[in-house]
Amino acid sequence: MSIALPSLPVGWSRTRVDRVATVSARIGWKALTAAEYQSDGYAFLSTPNIKGSEIDFSNVNYISEFRYGESPELQLKTGDVLLTKDGNTLGIVNIVRDLPRPATVNGSIAVIRSTGIHPTYLRHVLASRVTQETINMLKGGMGVPHLFQWDINRLPIPLPPLDEQRRIADFLDAETARIDGLDASRSVQLKLLSDRERAMLDLSFLEARSGAPTRLKYLFSVRPRYGVLVPAFTDDGVPFIRVNDLLDLEGRADGLRKIPSDLSAQYARSVVRPGDLLMSVVGTLGRAAIAPARLAGANIARAVCSMRFMPDVDVQLVKAWLGTSFFHEQALVATSTDTAQPTLGMEDLGNFSLNWPSDSQERKHMVREITRIQGSMSSLREKLERQKSVLAERRQALITAAVTGQIDVSTASGRGIEE
């Protein structure tokens, strides 16, 4: 099953991956565990290392020479194309341009080695819309998305003459580098925007005239709770809120996964009421949302905690405080001994200190001012994220047009290429 290639120029042919390259990947790895990682040795690449425009060989795990030698077909060479074949990042593709040290890959990455195609051209074909849509079709319906080696071997390849492959590869390298540079600048701007927003929130709490150091637990009406440890999903049942849902809880409300009612009943203390403050307490600490009325009766994942406050507490103000450096500094201390994902304990959370205004009118004024700040920042953030989205679309449209012969790269410029 694959997306059909469009009509190709005269002199081009149609082929597939296994006729122009070899595909090597591992299933597991001979009982290798994280305990075997070393402080130095042979680089062991994982998906985060191949996400960027260039492969990151610095922030990697290291394995021993013995482990490296167990799979010689996965010992990387310059020109190898790497494709993510597992998980939500399925389809990420990169190429080994330089090899600063001996390296191999973990079980989530396939190594595609050219035998009859220009490797950089192959990398761009795999990043094109034709291949990525084929990958999306193949992973449809899977619980954990996975590309089998059989599937990778049969991915369609438009094949121009070798000289044309080189021209296309050089053209796309130059044009995608320009787009990647623009994208990187937008990412920097987003980071600066987040830093600015945090600084302004910090200042709001610092300047509270009636503020006094208060432990968070004195604002609770009910002790915060973790949610469901092992969910079982069903078509009907109780809406189930996970960490990523907190990014836009209102917008995602209709599409939430569901768990059986009897399972939710076993976790009755974390059943959601309107106005509860829901916060991630595993991994990305502090991501938060206020439960809307339409999600009354929903339940939460173990990585989310539910906070219910006394009636006179402004929940919007507490939510804003979760975005300050004061919260994040305390969270960092509370989770500093975690060896895996940082996990915030409920007792630690209750003992967090915040500068809480005692005057209700001042709290209302702070809520209005913070709402204004966040609204302004949100508008700028949306514009930057929209620009990043347009750049990503243009990048893929340009790649697809070039590798299917829809544009002549000897005379074309990537500027203005549309779908």
- At 320, give phi and psi (nearest 5°): -65, -40
Closest C-alpha among 354, 346, 311 to residue 215: 354
Region for 405 from its dihedrals, namely left if φ exceeds 0, alpha if ψ lies in -120 to 50, beta otherwise: left
Which pLDDT score, from 0 to 100, does residue 28 have? Answer: 56
Q: Please, what is the Cα angle at 104 between 170 and 167, to 5 degrees?
A: 10
Token pair 């700040």 is found at 373
Which pLDDT score, from 0 to 100, does residue 115 have? Answer: 95
* H helices present in 239-359, as ranges: 249-252, 261-266, 315-321, 325-334, 346-350
Which pLDDT score, from 0 to 100, does residue 30 have? Answer: 61
Which pLDDT score, from 0 to 100, does residue 359 have? Answer: 94
Residue 346 tokens, joined: 């409920």
Strand pairing category for 81-84 and 93-95: antiparallel
Instruction: Look up the pTM and report it.
Output: 0.77
Residue type, 153: N
CB burial of residue 357 (10 Å; 0-12, 13-18, 19+): buried
In order, the DSSP letters of 307-334 are EEE-TTS-HHHHHHHTTSHHHHHHHHHH
CB burial of residue 197 (10 Å; 0-12, 13-18, 19+): buried
Closest C-alpha among 192, 169, 63, 163 to residue 119: 169
Question: Tens of pLDDT along the chain (419 residues)?
Answer: 556 778 899 999 999 999 999 999 876 556 677 778 888 999 999 999 999 889 999 999 999 999 899 889 999 999 999 999 987 788 999 999 999 999 999 988 999 999 999 999 999 999 999 999 988 887 754 556 788 889 999 999 999 999 999 999 999 999 999 999 999 999 999 999 999 999 999 999 999 999 999 999 999 998 898 999 999 999 999 999 999 999 999 999 999 999 999 999 999 999 999 999 999 999 889 999 999 999 999 999 999 999 999 999 999 999 999 999 999 999 999 998 766 688 999 999 999 999 999 999 999 999 999 999 999 999 999 999 999 999 999 999 999 999 999 998 887 654 544 44
Distance CA 120, CA 21 (A): 12
In order, the DSSP letters of 26-44 are -SS-TT--GGG-BSSSEEE
Strand pairing category for 103-105 and 42-45: parallel
Distance CA 172, CA 394 (A): 12
